[in-house]
Amino acid sequence: PLAANGKDFPVKKDLSVKTAANGQSKTLAEMENQWESFTFAPIRESQVSRAMTRRYFADLDNYAESDIVIVGAGSCGLSTAYILGKKRPDLKIAIVEAGVAPGGGAWLGGQLFSAMVMRKPADAFLNDLGIPFEDEGDFVVVKHAALFTSTLLSRVLSLPNIKLFNATTVEDLITRPAPTAADPHAVRIAGVVTNWTLVSMHHDDQSCMDPNTINAPLVISTTGHDGPFGAFSVKRLVSMQQLEKLGGMRGLDMRTAEDAIVKGTREIVRGLIVGGMELSEVDGANRMGPTFGAMALSGVKAAEEALNVIDE
Ligand code: AHZ
């Protein structure tokens, strides 16, 4: 049975369906020059279907009670997930990403150029991941932004305590009353409301497409600056009257923007940490353009803040 804190839910580890197949594997060398007699191991369509759906629904079931939900799998969200998931294998972490492809804006360096610039000391994050770079003195350059994002993504997805739900949008926040002396209407954030992104995009022309939920005592929102999807959680904090107004992202200033984002990464409302460029909308911080060190280190700080909140 599900314990009140959701932690003792029995997760079936082996989800494979046993068949009579002999399941013999081969090395690539054994296949060399053997293509005339080549054949795949047998399969039935329902096996493929079950292999996918069984795991997906087990994940939905398992992560319906998570320890932490990260909203947005851009450079900041993925950096947060990497540090948290690695440091704390005991925490169950769900990442909800609206796009089919995780990575946010970090597949290119800037203006469709490949190289990714990171100012020191964010090279420490690259060293931790084992990503090669060229040292230009005060900053370093990764030869392709996709090398950063794909390496980070592969590390995150390899962690057994992390599940990425992509093509899934956070449509709302779950709240609970948490009145304080200063604010009797204060709430704490207690999870997220989700839907398939394609469904979220069609609320105007289809009716009655109710969402799903994930309960979690802590949500980390890294949905980027305002745009068609961005700044989601902080805009919602304004409409639910937990923030008076947003500062609004300011123009580009590389000299100040990155420090401000890293230093400002924090719990904005109880149970909600905001990091990356979403934070610029709260604090009225400048944008930094195509330098990504602040996204990695905002992730490191968000993870640190999260552990302080969780272990409080
Ligand atoms: O799809 C979004 C993207 O992958 C996702 N997202 C946004 N709203 C969501 C929602 N539910 C689920 N409601 C959502 N997912 O969040 C991700 C944000 O990634 P990003 O790369 O846009 O943001 P970031 O803060 O990680 O990185 C910002 C990178 C920038 S922007 C910038 C500038 O404009 O000057 N400079 C840098 C380095």
Q: How far is Cα 44 from Cα 26, in angstroms, rounded to an integer?
A: 21
Q: Is 138 exposed, middle or buried (0-12, 13-18, 19+ CB in 10 A)?
A: exposed
pLDDT the model gives residue 13: 65
Per the CB < 8 A criterion, the answer to whether 217 and 69 are in contact is: no
pLDDT the model gives residue 16: 67
> For residue 223, how far is its CA from the centre of ligand 1 (angstroms)?
4
Laid out side by side, the sheet with 266-269 consists of 162-166, 93-97, 68-71, 218-221, 272-274, 266-269
Mutation test residue for ligand 1: of 148, 173, 229, the one with most atoms within 8 Å of CB: 229
Q: How far is Cα 126 from Cα 144, in angstroms, rounded to an integer?
A: 13
pLDDT the model gives residue 228: 75
DSSP label at residue 36: G
Is 48 known as a binding-site position? no
What crossing angle do the helices spanning 293-310 and 75-87 adopt, rounded to 10°?
40
Is 52 known as a binding-site position? no
Per the CB < 8 A criterion, the answer to whether 205 and 140 are in contact is: no
Q: How far from the centroid of its chain's Cα atoms is residue 272's Cα? A: 14
What does the chain come to in residues?
A: 312
Is 225 known as a binding-site position? yes
274 torsion bin: left (phi>0), alpha (psi -120 to 50), beta (else): beta
Per the CB < 8 A criterion, the answer to whether 229 and 171 are in contact is: no
Q: How far is Cα 107 from Cα 152, in angstroms, rounded to an integer?
A: 12
79 torsion bin: left (phi>0), alpha (psi -120 to 50), beta (else): alpha
Q: CB 197: neighbour CB atoms within 10 A?
A: 19
> Does residue 107 have its Cβ closer than 6 Å to ligand 1?
no
Strand partners, 203: none
> Does residue 222 have its Cβ closer than 6 Å to ligand 1?
yes
Nearest alpha carbon, ligand 1 atom 4: 104
Nearest alpha carbon, ligand 1 atom 5: 72
> Does residue 105 have its Cβ closer than 6 Å to ligand 1?
yes
pLDDT tens, per residue, the chain with 312 residues: 445 555 555 555 676 666 556 778 899 999 999 999 999 999 999 999 999 999 999 999 999 999 999 999 999 999 999 999 999 999 999 999 999 999 999 999 999 999 999 999 999 999 999 999 999 999 999 999 999 999 999 999 999 999 999 999 999 999 999 999 999 999 999 999 999 999 999 988 887 789 999 999 999 999 999 987 799 999 999 999 999 999 999 999 999 999 999 999 999 999 999 999 999 999 999 999 999 999 999 999 999 999 999 988
Cα dihedral value 289, 293, 296, 300, nearest 10? -130
Q: How far is Cα 164 from Cα 102, in angstroms, rounded to an integer?
A: 9
pLDDT the model gives residue 108: 97
Nearest alpha carbon, ligand 1 atom 7: 223
Per the CB < 8 A criterion, the answer to whether 113 and 292 are in contact is: no
Is 105 known as a binding-site position? yes
> Does residue 281 have its Cβ closer than 6 Å to ligand 1?
no
CA-closest candidate to residue 81, choices 97, 65, 101, 58 = 97
Nearest alpha carbon, ligand 1 atom 24: 224
Report the nearest atom of ligand 1 relative to the CA of 276. 25
Mutation test residue for ligand 1: of 125, 223, 232, the one with most atoms within 8 Å of CB: 223
pLDDT the model gives residue 227: 83
DSSP label at residue 129: H
Q: How far is CA 62 from CA 117, 205, 296, in A?
A: 38, 32, 28
Q: 3-class SS at 66?
A: coil
The residue written with tokens 């997220």 in the block is 192
Laid out side by side, the sheet with 139-142 consists of 116-119, 139-142, 134-135
pLDDT the model gives residue 11: 56
